[in-house]
Amino acid sequence: LKLTIGPRFARAMTSHSDDVCLPEPCEQGAGATSVTATLDEALELPQETDEYRLSHEFYDAYKACKALNEKEGSEVEQADIDALVSKLKAIAHHVVRLRLFSPNEELEDISTADIKFLLVPHLLAEVTAATRDMAARVQALRHAILYWRAFAHDCERLKVAHADDLKAVDRNPEDKLDAHTKRDEKIARYRRSKELDEKVTYLFAKKREVLGDEFHWGAGGAFDEDMERELILSLLGRACAAAADNITSAEQELPLLEMMVARGGPGAGSSCEQRTPSEKPFILRIQDKAELMRIYKEMVFQCPYELPTMTLAEAANIEMEQVRERTARETDRERQANTLENERWWGGDRYGSKEEDEDVIKTYKDRDWDNWKDEHPYGSGNKRGNLG
Position 349 confidence tier, pLDDT thresholds 50, 70, 90: low
Judging by beta carbons within 10 Å of its beta carbon (0-12, 13-18, 19+), is residue 380 exposed, middle or buried? exposed
Closest of 158, 148, 125 to residue 240, by C-alpha: 148
To the nearest 10°, the Cα dihedral for 161, 176, 188, 194?
A: 70
Distance between CA atoms of residues 255 and 259, nearest Å: 6
**Mean predicted lDDT score pLDDT of the chain:** 78
User: Which pLDDT value is given to residue 333?
Assistant: 94
Lowest mean pLDDT among 82-86, 111-115, 201-205, 284-288: 284-288
pTM of the model: 0.57
User: Which pLDDT value is given to residue 3?
Assistant: 35
User: Helix, strand or coil for residue 99?
Assistant: coil
User: Which pLDDT value is given to residue 53?
Assistant: 79
Distance between CA atoms of residues 142 and 39, nearest Å: 12
Closest of 138, 145, 136, 117 to residue 245, by C-alpha: 145
For 3, which DSSP code? B
- In DSSP terms, 25 is beta-bridged to 3
Q: Are 124 and 92 in contact (CB under 8 A)?
A: yes
User: Which pLDDT value is given to residue 365?
Assistant: 94
Distance between CA atoms of residues 132 and 68, nearest Å: 13
Provide φ and ψ at 202, rounded to 5°.
-65, -45
User: Which pLDDT value is given to residue 39?
Assistant: 45
Position 45 confidence tier, pLDDT thresholds 50, 70, 90: low
Cα distances (angstroms) measured from residue 178 to each of 138, 165, 181? 28, 17, 6
- pLDDT at residue 238 is higher than 70: yes
- pLDDT at residue 25 is higher than 70: no
Most confident of 10-19, 225-234, 262-271: 225-234
3-state secondary structure the chain: CCECCCHHHHHHHHCCCCCCCCCCECCCCCCHHHHHHHCCCCCCCCCCCCHHHHHHHHHHHHHHHHHHHHCCHHHCCHHHHHHHHHHHHHHHHHHHHCCCCCCCCCHHHCCHHHHHHHHHHHHHHHHHHCCCCCCCHHHHHHHHHHHHHHHHHHHHHHCCCCHHHHHHHCCCCCCCCCHHHHHHHHHHHHHHHHHHHHHHHHHHHHHHHHHCCCCCCCCECCECHHHHHHHHHHHHHHHHHHHHHHHHHHHHHHHHHHHHHHCCCCCCCCCCCCCCCCCCCCCCCCCCHHHHHHHHHHHHCCCCCCCCCCCHHHHHHHHHHHHHHHHHHHHHHHHHHHHHHHHHCHHHCCCCHHHHHHHHHHHHHHHHHHHHHHHCCCCCCCCCCCCC
